[in-house]
A = this chain, B = another copy of it.
Amino acid sequence: MYEKLYQGDTRMASRLMRDIEEGLPAARAEMKKLYPATGKARIIGITGSPGAGKSTLCDCLISYYRASGRKVGVVAIDPSSPFSGGAILGDRIRMGRHADDEGVFIRSLATRGHTGGLSRAAGDVSAIMEAWGAEIIIVETVGAGQSEVDVRRLATTSIVVLTPGMGDEVQAIKAGIMEIADIFVINKADREGAERAMNDIRGVLELLPDIGPQVWRPQILKTVAFKNEGIEELGRVLDEHHVFMLEGGAFLVRARERSELQLLDLLHECVQLRIDGVLENKLDPQWRDKLASRQIDPYTLTESILAGILKDNNG
């Protein structure tokens, strides 16, 4: 049914993404079918506050990879991203200079509400993009919150984008929020404070334990994305990290972790659907009223609902 996907048909890829979101059995069967051949694409995560210039940087990287003929997929999760903003225009958002490029596939997941579901959806979408032919998949997120951290775990290389004068954000780095960055990019580096930002990050990185050459030491780069400055260098360091990941076996480890993450997401999503079904069909409206009037408490109600859906044995 979805054969044309494997010939690079973008409409068919969009359709499969939509069908899997809607839970169509045929789409699920297709995901099982395409799964064994996926897991080889490079997934580049781009994280940063709104306004840091993630989307412009993403745009530059698309051009960079397209120049060498590679097909690129973009998964946009930041609700303030122009990529996401285009979601209202349809399934496949084409923006700016990549609008007519059949080798670029952009998909926004910004409108999805539920936790967990977000990383599951991002995992499905990137697998489909890979089946469609993408060698490079860029995942753009704001990077805050647990679901975003889960999404970032999809990436084989993580970029954190900062701007000069972001004292508060260095605080966040110190708090460990950005600890999984492989590359720090100081974007808008023509502004005052770029050197200081670099030194601030360098200072934080120096606190990391030195475990030896088998461990990637995060790199710090400067870009001015809207002038396309620093992109070649970023591309070079991205390649360097990719080679590092492949040589050390970390790429396979990441692919493995990604599959396990996806398994957990799927499990929780399926169980959630079952729970929602129980709450809607069977208990409502009694339980709502009893809870509201505090005749029953959530702890007791949880026990009775679980007794109804879970098997008694320990799995």
Segment of A183-191, A197-205, A234-242, A272-280 in the binding face: A272-280
A302 contacts which of B113, B266, B277, B302 (Cβ < 8 Å)? B266
Asked if residues B272 and A35 are in contact (CB atoms below 8 Å), the reply is no
Known contacts A79-B177, A115-B115, A263 near B50 by CB under 8 Å? no
- Whether A90 is near chain B, meaning CB under 8 Å from some CB there, is no
State the main secondary structure of chain A at its contact with B: helix
- The CA of A36 and the CA of B118, in the complex, are separated in Å by 35
Interface flag for A116 (CB, 8 Å): yes
Produce 1/0 per residue, A275-311, CB < 8 A to B: 1011101100001100110110111111001101111
Q: How many residues of A contact B (CB 8 A)?
A: 71
In the A-B complex, the 3 residue pairs with the smallest Cβ-Cβ separation, listed nearest first, are A145-B145, A144-B144, A35-B297
Residues of chain A touching chain B, judged by Cβ–Cβ distance below 8 Å, are: 28, 31-32, 35-36, 39, 49-51, 79-80, 113-116, 118, 142, 144-148, 167-168, 171-172, 174-177, 252, 255-256, 259-260, 262-264, 266-268, 270-272, 274-275, 277-279, 281-282, 287-288, 291-292, 294-295, 297-302, 305-306, 308-311, 314-315
